[in-house]
Amino acid sequence: MDLRQTGFVFAAASAVATLAIHPATAASSEGQKLVAVHCEQCHEIKGISDFGNVGPSLLDVKSRYPDRKDVVAIVNDETKRNPQTVMPPFGRNLILTKQEIDTIVDYLYNQ
């Protein structure tokens, strides 16, 4: 095994150890990645400086939507609530899995 392989093995082992020790941090990191790919182009999000403004701000989502199920439903298929929305039906169109939607909502609720 050369030095590059050793470094890769160490980095991979370190990442696995971090996930095992800090699952909440890993979930937050995954949520942040999903939000960066699927949400920030249209929504203002805490900690993101280059966000879109097509959709409403996602700052303080928890106080605006105390029932978490409402946000899950919006991400899943906002066309049920607002047929004129430009937001993609992420769940209905299988863009995101139920787990990914839950991860995004968890991330937004903990901002």
In a domain, 78, yes or no: yes
Say if residue 43 is exposed, middle or buried (CB neighbours under 10 Å; 0-12, 13-18, 19+).
Answer: buried
Residue 10, in any domain of the structure = no
For 42, how many CA atoms within 13 A lie in the half-sphere containing its CB?
Answer: 11
CATH number for the domain including 40?
1.10.760.10
CB of 77 within 8 A of CB of 92? yes
36-48 pLDDT, tens digit each: 999 999 999 988 8
Which pLDDT belongs to residue 81? 95
Q: How many other C-beta atoms can be found within 10 angstroms of the C-beta atom of residue 38?
A: 18
Per-residue CA distances from 2 to 6, 9, 98 (Å) = 6, 11, 41
The boundaries of the domain holding residue 79 are 23-109
Ordered alpha helix ranges (H), the chain = 3-21, 23-38, 61-64, 68-77, 98-109
pTM for the structure as a whole = 0.74
Determine the pLDDT at residue 24: 56
Question: How is residue 52 annotated by DSSP?
Answer: -
**Total domains present in the chain:** 1
So what's the pLDDT on residue 53? 87
Alpha-carbon distances of 50 from 3, 42, 45, rounded to whole Å = 38, 10, 9
CA dist 77 and 47 (Å) reads 26
